[in-house]
Structure 1
C-alpha cells in the first residue's frame, strides 16, 4: 500500500520547531493578557508550594533564577532560601546563550543586565557550577504530561540541565494553564521531575 503524502512528517525537526513556535506564541499571548492582580494573587501560593517541597526545604545548594515580566515570581523564594542559609546560584547569560552561575547574596547583590534581566553582581563560578546543585528551579512556558519542558527557544536551560547531577531535583515553575500541554519534543529537550504552580505541585514519574 502506498503512503499518502499529507505534508512534512510531524516528527521532523522543522515540524517540531514550527509547532513549538505556535505554542510559544499562544502561551506568551495568554501571559500578556493575564491581569496583574491575578499574577500578584498567585505569588504567595507559588512560593509556599516551592518551599514546602522536601528536597527544596533540605537542599544545601539550589540553582534558581530571577523572574522577569509575567513569569511566576521567584523573588520571595530566593529571599527565603537565602535567609535559611542555602547556597543559592543564579544564572548569568553568556553571549552564546549558555549560562554561567554566580552566588546570590540577597536582593542588593542583583544588577540590571538589560532586556529585563536581573543578574547577580557576584563573581561567576563557571557553567559547570550548576552540577553542584541539589535542586534546580527553572523557568519555562509549558510542560507535557510526562515532564517535557518547553522554554523560550534559546536553549540556555537545556544546556544547563544537561550538566545537572542525576540525583538533583529539576523543578519547573509555571502558571496553572501551562501544565499538561501537548509539547512537541526534540532530542535535546530536557525533562523535569516536578512542576509547581499556584495550584500545587505535580511530580512526574520516570
Structure 2
C-alpha cells in the first residue's frame, strides 16, 4: 500500500477514535498533559515556548497555555497563512484569541514571521499519532512539517497525544519531520 494511502487510512481511523472520546476524558487528558509538560526540565528552563490552541477532540491546550503564561514564559502561537504555512504571534491570554478559518482560534496581535518558531526553546505541536522513533502523523496539510524544518537541531520538539496514539510505526514520507518526544496523559516519552 503506498504511504499516502496508508496515511489517509490511519488518519481516518484516529480521527474517528478521537470523535468518540468522552468530553470528560478530553478534559482530564488536557490537565494531565499540562502537568507532564510543566514537570519537564526543558519546559521549566524555556524562556520561549511555541504551542498551539487545540480544537475539537484534540488533547486540550487551554490549561497548558495559561500555565506557561503564568510561569512567565513567552508563548508563541501559530497563525495559519493562506499557503498553509505558519506565521507566529504572541499569546496574551484567552481574551487575545479570535476565531479564524478552519475552526481555529488564533492570536490577534501582530505576527512575527514564519521564522519566529526558530527562536523557541521548546516547540509543542499537534498530531494524530507518533511512532516510537519520533515520526509524527498530522492532519495532512504539512504546516507543522514546514515549521519543524525551521527549528534548530537539538530543540525540544514534542507532540501532544492520547496514550493510545503512540504507535510502533506510522507511515512517513521524505518531507515528514520527526519530534523528540510525545506528551500524553500517562507521561513523557522520549523518542529513540
What TM-score results when the alignment is normalised by the length of structure 1?
Answer: 0.91
Structure 2 spans left out of the alignment, 5+ residues: none
Aligned to 1:161: 148
Q: Distance in 1 between matches of 2:37 and 2:90?
A: 20
Q: CA deviation at 1:84?
A: 1.5
Contact (CA 8 Å) 2:77, 2:90: kept in 1 or not? yes
- What secondary structure is seen at the aligned counterpart in 2 of 1:115? helix
Contact (CA 8 Å) 1:142, 1:181: kept in 2 or not? no
Runs of 4+ in 1 over 3 A off after TM superposition: none
Deviations 1:141-163 (A, max 9, x none): 01012110010000000000000
Contact (CA 8 Å) 1:91, 1:99: kept in 2 or not? yes
Structure 1 spans left out of the alignment, 5+ residues: 1-9
Aligned to 1:142: 129
Indicate the larger mover: 125-134 or 43-52.
43-52
Among 18, 24, 47, which residue is 1:60 paired with? Answer: 47
Q: Give 1 or 2 for the bigger CA radius of gyration.
A: 1
Aligned to 1:95: 82
Please state if 1:43 is matched with 2:30: yes
What TM-score results when the alignment is normalised by the length of structure 2?
Answer: 0.97
Q: Distance in 1 between matches of 2:176 and 2:101?
A: 27
Among 107, 124, 131, which residue is 2:111 paired with? Answer: 124
Aligned residues: 192
Aligned counterparts, 1:21-40, within 5 A: 21-40=8-27
Aligned to 2:66: 79
- What secondary structure is seen at the aligned counterpart in 2 of 1:123? coil
Q: CA deviation at 1:70?
A: 0.3
Aligned to 1:3: none
Please state if 1:188 is matched with 2:153: no
Q: CA deviation at 1:190?
A: 0.5
